Chain A
Amino acid sequence: MNGVAPVYAPSPRGALGALGVLATVIRRDLLLALRRKSEVLTSLFFFVIVVSLFPLGIGPEMALLRTIAPGVLWVAALLAAMLSLNRLFASDYADGTLEQMVLSPAPLGLLVIGKIMAHWLVSGLPLVLIAPVLGLQYDLAPRPLAVLILSLLIGTPLLSLIGAIGASLTLGVRGGGVLLSLLTLPLYIPALIFGAGAVEADISGLGAAGHLSLLAGLLALAGFFAPWATTAGLRIALE
């Protein structure tokens, strides 16, 4: 990681605007993720395997699979997103980069937003992209499938944002991994309800617009508050 750290070297003020900082953080985290491909692929495979296990446990009746598809896909996405949360700050914390970030002239909140966006690009977006294939396994019609993709597209950033709070609070804490799931899973419930609910509402003919706009509302709310809470959590962890 030595080659990557200098990205945070202090630059003359103004040379790197807010967007510049954001882009730098995202680029760095993506680069790091590319160097450790196996970790990225693990959560994606986890998602695929969990979703594929359900028909084996429940039975292959298509009608039943169609009804449980939104719930199964969403719960699996939730768990997969949570698997990768540990990595969000842990390695930066371990090698001291995080401390440098806190000390750097760029506002910590901005760096946190950048890291969350990178986390979503690495662990959220692949889930959205693979979801259509898995939806076909469950015999979803094209329209509900489109709604599912849309709901995951709005919902996975929400998962990254909420998860970041938990990740910052459990940083360096013993038993952090299990604790992280205990903290974040209850907070994920609204996302799960509106995300899976959108698909079900569409199937039952109620229209998914209401669910999706509520999900987007939650995303806006979390986008505003979560980086702030995460920043506070990181400062506490580094005290």
Chain B
Amino acid sequence: MQWNSIGEFFAMGGYALYVWGSFGITALALLIEPLLLRKRQSDVLDSLRRELNADKQQRKPE
């Protein structure tokens, strides 16, 4: 292990901006994509359920 302290680890030998800039954006992108997809999935499911319920309610009175 080449890090003597946490501070040294975060300093990245003076390249903190570049290293953490790369890792940070990558982490952000890989986090946001699945979250957006989860939202897309639940949106689709919601609209489908609504459609289905509307169908059922329409049929009931008959």
Chain A–chain B contact at Cβ < 8 A? no
Q: Which A residues form the contact surface with B (CB < 8 A)?
A: none
